Chain A
């Protein structure tokens, strides 16, 4: 008999709308968390997963209230407890690790003091014991030299280190249950893999139960024993991790898994149509009916109940789950990828571009003296052909967005030349660029909430480039806007909408429409899918691919996600600290031999499969500045050759697949080393 840590019975949480209707955000949630178990809660934004996690701590957000049900911890309903009683539970018995540790740590208190405070509140240790315990906790989360870390302020630590401190603080009270709300979402891929590995270790070591809330099935696969899939405030699937991820018997999970780009897959993933319904819009029937490819008439009228399938040990909310039992992934191999037309028609030539953020002093400006020998981005040489998709990959601080901005003219390159269409030199000053070149290069940003003016309607947004570059007005303008919107699969009725009335995917489509309205030759995509939900991401990627085929546009695609890059790009350039490490056709970049940094990145990719564990080959140290001399990756390289890496800049070597690697290790040695383990 397993010991139950928390039991949630029939929980509904909601709010009262302006019209006085009661709208549920969580609908009749019932589940139990057992001792020592790690439960992953997956869902897209708005599925209610964070509301559920907060309710487990006895916290309901301002404006929401408990409609019915209870959250039982040690035979008491924590949702009905008074603040005084909750103080003894929160932190001591149930602890939480927030998404952004950088914001949850107090910026002007030292790390040691903050952990000490947690210990003072949640344990009965004396002062001397607490000092020992602080070191112990910091050691446990694998932070190097705890004495030094304890004396630091949060801003002196990297994102991964901050997250580790947050874990240490949560562990201070030795809680029974640890709630983690997207704890690795903002972190770099390698750091994420390390933090997940640490969480796995802690779960085994301390026997703490964990609830891991995330939208990322890859991360969930690595840590959880059991997975709960949420959709529109309901549990749609609840079962062991292997069953859920390998044999998903709910159509939503099935579609979701198919829409994730994977390293093992070539080409674009299948996208799921539609988006999650707004709370309160579904009155009867299955909430997934509109998007379900297995839907029948009865699904529209009858609401399915959570049904336990004993052979799979899984609960599912679907009438047709039997259809999915036997359905294997025979149709996951999509071949939507369009092969690159091998026309050698160079459209952009970036040669020896360096960019520096260092500010020159006034006198040095007068003397025209350049003193920055170690710029943020250095020696970038890339030639891009017409109709090609080039991906720039790297972790934060790799200079990929900086390069993109210098192509757009938003950041002045210090050295080097960017040529457009063979021989036209683009000025590094935006104001000196010809309007035609400005039109030819358009940008799409990461977050459509920020890139669309919240006070403009879709019509106004899309009209900007049309008015600026083509001088359209009146009816002609309106017809053109409708035409552009149609290309991104948005109907005419979107014209009068404001961005806040659109879903994330629709907003990004509007941003895509605005870029394409200028009839550009090159589109610079800056992490365009990072802010989107998985199912929407696949749809946007597919749209970009279709538009590329229609218009022959060239993309420069910046991303940190190697699986997304593999799905969309023809050629990949890997960057570390503003220096190119490797560049080549995407098929060969993902094959060995690779630059040691590419190897580290590939090892850290999280697949939504509990049996594929990430390979952690290098430490997740964060370097502030590129090294003055030698190879840019010398600080973290797992295959460091010796002194030569620290003194000489490595040469370019080209392997048999046409892949250029910048490393001192001979290409064959590299291949042998990498394929042997």
Chain B
């Protein structure tokens, strides 16, 4: 018996990642998203090196200056440079929400896969508890946690991670349900593999993509959530620059010092748009696009 030989080189993980990124960049929306995201991340990492002014230097004589060659984005009500504060303002938000969504991804994914696999009564009970948590307004619960335990990042990251992981539980569980009935799972069971081995070897590779895309989506939501907390005064404590806090401080003066509000709004919304576009392109590149055309 002769077989047609189609020799192909095996792909390394690195070349797979390169391939996924280049597929993402091949669409305009994906390219724009990636550029914005990379820009923000680079900015967050490097901005302390070239920030033109001291972010906490208060100077009453420079109060509410309009944008000029010295103060590109003008100054705020305390005379601080808005440009400096804007390019530094994403650092905390990005760090907190990145690690927050990582935690959400881990516990949400693990619990979702577990529930999907075991099913039955345990699944029922866990999902009803998740439903119950979903009905609690998260911002109220967050405010309660923050006022009890303080606003340090050690508190914020796990708290945000917990509240944003609930949605991932549902996605991971649904994705697991899709593969659980397939014969390769039955085959692994019949061979006598244990639950952990089935999750790790058979289920995880098939649900990983869906969970990662969901995690990326949650990241942008969490960013908005974190900024809302800062806006309410429960996120970052002054004088650390943060977009939510900056919007909150400057919003009363919006009618005559619009620049102090516009700059952080632009920073925040461009980052969220960037993450959303990237997540969308990521989903398309992995082939789990939600907006494919119907076959007819």
Contact = CB atoms under 8 A, between A and B. Distances in A.
Interface of A: 61-62, 271, 273-275, 277, 290, 408-410, 430, 433, 435, 438-439, 441-443, 445-447, 450-457, 460, 464-465, 468-469, 489-491, 493, 496-497, 501, 506, 514, 518, 539
Contacts of A275: 4
Shortest beta-carbon contacts, A-B, top 5: A455-B205, A496-B10, A451-B183, A438-B192, A450-B183
B136 interface: no
Contacts of A408: 190
B183 A273 contact: no
Contacts of A271: 1
B293 A62 contact: yes
Given A490-B3, A539-B1, A456 B190 contact: no
Band of interface residues on B: 20 to 34
Contact of B182 (A439, A450, A456, A493): A450
B189 A410 contact: yes
Q: Output the residue of B10, B183, B187, B206 with the most chain A CB within 10 A.
A: B187
A468 B193 contact: yes
B187 A445 contact: yes
A491 B4 CA distance: 10
Contacts of A409: 190
A282 B291 CA distance: 34
Given A410-B186, A451-B184, A460-B201, 11 more contacts: A61-B295, A271-B1, A273-B2, A430-B190, A445-B183, A446-B183, A451-B182, A453-B206, A455-B206, A493-B7, A497-B8
Nearest to B193: A468
B123 interface: no
Contacts of B192: 430, 433, 435, 438-439, 468
Nearest to B203: A453
B202 A453 contact: yes
B132 interface: no
A453 B191 CA distance: 14
B95 to A, nearest CB: 32
Contacts of B110: none
Contacts of A496: 8, 10
Interface of B: 1-8, 10, 182-184, 186-193, 201-202, 205-206, 293, 295-296
Contacts of A442: 190-191
Contacts of A446: 183
A62 B205 contact: no
A453 B190 contact: no
Contact of A274 (B4, B189, B205): B4
30 contacts: A273-B1, A410-B186, A410-B189, A430-B190, A430-B192, A435-B192, A439-B191, A442-B190, A443-B187, A443-B190, A445-B183, A445-B186, A450-B182, A451-B186, A451-B187, A453-B184, A453-B205, A454-B206, A456-B201, A465-B191, A468-B191, A491-B3, A493-B5, A493-B7, A496-B10, A497-B8, A501-B6, A501-B8, A506-B3, A518-B191
A564 to B, nearest CB: 19
Contacts of A430: 189-190, 192
Contacts of A455: 205-206
Contacts of A447: 183
B175 to A, nearest CB: 13
A442 B10 CA distance: 29
Contacts of B184: 450-453
B43 to A, nearest CB: 35
A345 B2 CA distance: 37
Contacts of B295: 61-62
A350 to B, nearest CB: 17
A539 B3 CA distance: 12
Given A274-B4, A447-B183, A491-B3, A438 B191 contact: yes
Contacts of B293: 62
A438 B2 contact: no
A456 B185 CA distance: 13
B36 to A, nearest CB: 27
Nearest to B208: A455
A277 B193 CA distance: 38
